[in-house]
């Protein structure tokens, strides 16, 4: 049974406890970690930086090596590099190809940064060393877009991609469609073909307390190579789902954090990133001047 969060001191205690009954689950691959059993809040930092231009953080990735965290902002055409405390330490050049950014991921080879445009329903591939060398890949124009059309009752105008990640083992690019319907879209490493489209409905565990299916969205995405799974954040659900790649329903973890002596849900979680060990989850919120970087331990 899902652990219940209670009021008062019990809430503060429950913040550090397991939120889902996954402790007994076993990975089918002996080389992989077990599915996550708990998500524990560690710390958070202010993220809004008007002077730097980071006012609407909407995606997150971990850079190569010690390159820190990278994010994008809805209302600007630049990339932002952050330190471990959420401080902007580098602002990239303006890139004309970037519009209405909703996600960012490091390409499998580390040579390109992939940025997701919701408005144009496309992926923009940016050369890390020559940022103005950007290629655009529209989801509607990819081979296999008929799979998308079938999942969306033929109406590709409903495409609203919100999160992007890269499967570091296969090089496949993963994109999540926000809602109506929520979809996990797997794209070939060369960004030419839509390989598969997976609906993320209630039958796969995508449910949240007091939230009807239509309102529940998908807002961020991270691949978990250590477990062989995928993390999918939900802004409206105030939670994150873990979906094993093999099969089975998703596991849900509520996004809670400690603000002084109070325990609060994250408002407007828009981007997530997982470290290579699978032990630390980073989350950015798009909450105006209250936007923050949150850090969680994964057990």
User: Does 2 reside within a domain?
Assistant: no
Residues spanned by the domain of 105:
9-24+31-298
Per-residue pLDDT band at 6 (split at 50, 70, 90): very low
**Least confidently predicted of 21-25, 106-110, 175-179, 252-256:** 21-25
User: Does 79 reside within a domain?
Assistant: yes
Per-residue pLDDT band at 66 (split at 50, 70, 90): confident
Residue 219 is predicted with a pLDDT of: 97
pLDDT at 263 over 70: yes
pLDDT at 116 over 50: yes
Residue 5 is predicted with a pLDDT of: 35
Long-range CB contact pairs, 79-86, < 8 A, 24+: 79/104, 79/113, 79/115, 79/126, 79/131, 80/52, 80/53, 80/54, 82/47, 82/293, 85/45, 85/293, 86/45, 86/46, 86/47, 86/292, 86/293
pLDDT at 23 over 70: no
Mean pLDDT value across the chain:
89
User: Does 199 reside within a domain?
Assistant: yes
Per-residue pLDDT band at 7 (split at 50, 70, 90): very low
User: Does 1 reside within a domain?
Assistant: no
User: Does 206 reside within a domain?
Assistant: yes
pLDDT at 18 over 50: no
pLDDT in tens, 232-246: 999 999 999 999 976
Residue 28 is predicted with a pLDDT of: 60
CA distance 191 to 146: 15
- Its pTM stands at 0.90
User: Does 55 reside within a domain?
Assistant: yes
Residue 186 is predicted with a pLDDT of: 98
Q: How far is CA 272 from CA 173, 212, 226, in A?
A: 16, 23, 16
Q: What is the CATH number of the domain that holds 61?
A: 2.120.10.30
Per-residue pLDDT band at 2 (split at 50, 70, 90): very low
pLDDT at 97 over 90: no
User: Does 3 reside within a domain?
Assistant: no
User: Does 256 reside within a domain?
Assistant: yes
Q: For the chain, what is the domain count? A: 1
């Amino acid at each position: 049974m899902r652990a219940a969060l209670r009021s008062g001191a019990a809430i503060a205690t429950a913040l550090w406890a397991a939120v889902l009954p996954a402790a007994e689950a076993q990975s089918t691959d002996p080389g992989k970690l077990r599915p996550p059993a708990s998500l524990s809040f560690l710390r958070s930092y202010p993220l809004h930086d008007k002077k730097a231009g980071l006012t609407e953080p909407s995606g997150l990735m971990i850079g190569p090596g010690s390159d820190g965290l990278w994010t994008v902002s809805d209302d600007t055409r630049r990339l932002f590099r952050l330190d471990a405390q959420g401080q902007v330490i580098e602002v990239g050049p303006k890139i004309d190809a970037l519009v209405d950014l909703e996600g960012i991921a490091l390409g499998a080879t580390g040579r390109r940064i992939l940025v997701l445009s919701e408005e144009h329903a496309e992926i923009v591939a940016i050369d890390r060393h020559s940022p103005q060398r950007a290629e655009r890949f529209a989801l509607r124009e990819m081979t296999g877009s008929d799979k998308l059309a079938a999942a969306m009752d033929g109406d590709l105008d409903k495409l609203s991609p919100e999160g992007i990640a890269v499967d570091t083992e296969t090089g496949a690019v993963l994109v999540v469609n926000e809602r109506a319907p929520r979809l996990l879209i797997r794209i070939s490493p060369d960004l030419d073909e839509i390989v598969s489209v997976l609906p993320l409905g209630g039958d796969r565990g995508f449910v949240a307390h007091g939230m009807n299916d239509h309102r529940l969205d998908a807002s961020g995405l991270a691949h978990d190579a250590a477990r062989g799974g995928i993390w999918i954040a939900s802004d409206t659900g105030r939670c994150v789902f873990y979906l094993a790649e093999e099969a089975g329903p998703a596991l849900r973890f509520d996004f809670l954090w400690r603000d002084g002596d109070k325990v609060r849900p994250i408002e407007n979680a828009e981007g997530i990133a997982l470290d290579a060990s699978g032990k630390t989850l980073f989350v950015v919120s798009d909450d105006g001047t209250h936007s923050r970087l949150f850090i969680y331990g994964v057990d």
